[in-house]
Amino acid sequence: MIINGIEIKGKFFLAPMRAINISSFRKLCQIRGCEIVYSQMVDVDEFFEYSNQYGIEKAKKRFVNINDEKIIIQVIGRNVEKTLFLIDSFKNEVIGFDVNAGCPINEYLGKKSGAYFMKDPNYLYKYVSGIREKYKGFLSVKIRSGWDDNSINAIEICKKLKELEVDMICVHPRTKEQAYSGHGDWSLLARIKKEVDIPLTLSGDVFNIYDAYKAFQFSKADFIMLGRAPKVYPSIFKDLTEYFNKENNEVPEFIKGYDKKINNVKEDLLLFFEYYKKYEVKFSIDQIKQYINWFFTDIKKNKLLREINEKDDLDEIIYLIKNKL
């Protein structure tokens, strides 16, 4: 599929996750088969202020740190001028930008951004219109199903965003009140598809091949965005890509939760260490250990994990991963 000049061959994207989607993690997900990686959510106010204080180049390294990835930057805010400043700063290094209208964190609700837009869609339209007036490149918007169960307005919002010439919409089919609890209503995207002719991405509740298979069936989405699963198992993109690239796929076996292969976890960790040393602006063994702990989720290697967490030297950690995992 080609959308506003951007060729999208794969079906799976890395969701924007703040404090998780660092450059080395994005690179790992992309090498594993992720079609498009999203940056961590970037606050346009913070980026603007930091740029004024330290310069644009330092701000770009601090907030996104791009290293030749096929990347979309997600922005959160409500000030058009500051958003356009960010867009102008990055536009020659990315394939596009995404407006966050779904984050339920109180910090952003208090600033009347993120999921606040779900109960103030008129300002969302004003915000997106102001961006689109100046920026003609790839622009998507990530929304929720509504503010609460009494105000499910995703279809109405998608119709208006289509009129504003947004290129793609990502739907997390939970309300702001649900946050990340319960299960998203995948069928909402199918209802949107009947009403709005626009590429749709589903976000939420896909943790393995079976989930993805059922999600495409129920949602009729064009793409699936994954966050919690690749956070603990980047090779999910490898597994998904291999399955969905096959012809005449059989219905996958039902699986609940993660379907992790230890060999993939080992390879993911070693490649992550390589990318971390090559691409990250600052080296932090504590940050590296956080990713190790995430990657070890559900693989029943607690003794090895404890041993790793006692080390403060990356070479010693690499030795343990190579020889004991």
**How does residue 173 score in pLDDT terms, banded at 50, 70 and 90?**
very high
Residue 239's pLDDT band (boundaries 50, 70, 90)?
A: very high
Q: Rounded to a whole number, what is the largest CA-CA distance in the chain?
A: 57
Residue 157 near residue 143, CB atoms below 8 Å = yes
CA distance 45 to 61: 16
On the CB side of 35, how many CA atoms lie within 13 Å of its CA? 20
pLDDT at 301: 94
pLDDT at 22: 97
25 located within any domain: yes
Any domain includes 104: yes
pLDDT of residue 184: 87
The range of the structural domain enclosing residue 51 comes to 2-244
Q: Examine the domain organization and report whether 6 and 52 are in the same domain.
A: yes
pLDDT of amino acid 66: 96
**Residues 209 and 273 grouped into a single domain:** no
Residue 70 counted as domain residue:
yes
Q: What are the pLDDT digits (tens) for 15-49?
A: 999 899 999 999 999 999 999 999 999 999 999 99
125 and 205 fall within a common domain: yes
Specify the pairing of strand 6-7 against strand 223-226.
unpaired
Tell me, yes or no, whether 142 and 285 share the same domain: no
How distant, in Å, are the alpha carbons of 9, 77, 107 from that of 115? 30, 11, 11
pLDDT at res. 204: 86
295, 186: one domain: no
User: What letter would DSSP give residue 253?
Assistant: P
Please give the Cα distance from 95 to 5 (Å, whole number).
9
Mean pLDDT of 41-58: 98
Mention every residue, 6+ apart, whose C-beta is less than 8 A from residue 79.
44, 45
The tens digit of pLDDT for each residue in 71-109 reads 999 999 999 999 999 999 999 999 999 999 999 999 999
CATH label of the domain that carries residue 191: 3.20.20.70
Do 159 and 268 fall into the same domain? no
**This prediction's pTM:** 0.95
Residue 179: pLDDT band with limits 50, 70, 90? confident
| Terminal-residue alpha carbon distance, the chain | 40
pLDDT above 90 as % of the chain? 94
Q: Where does the pLDDT of residue 1 fall: very low under 50, low under 70, confident under 90, or very high at 90 and above?
A: very high
Same domain membership, residue 228 and residue 109:
yes
Give 146's pLDDT tier (boundaries 50, 70, 90).
Answer: very high
pLDDT of residue 36: 98
> What is the tens place of the pLDDT at every residue in 111-123?
999 999 999 999 9
In a domain, 253, yes or no: no
For residue 140, give every residue at least 6 positions away whose Cβ sits within 8 Å of its Cβ, in sequence order, or none.
72, 96, 97, 98, 99, 166, 167, 168, 169, 170, 201
* Residue that terminates a domain, selected from 210, 244, 278: 244
pLDDT of residue 248: 67
Could you say which of 244, 279, 296 is where a domain stops? 244
Q: What's the number of domains the chain is made of?
A: 2
Does the residue 43 lie in any domain? yes
Q: Which of 170-184, 218-232, 261-275, 288-302 is predicted least confidently?
A: 170-184
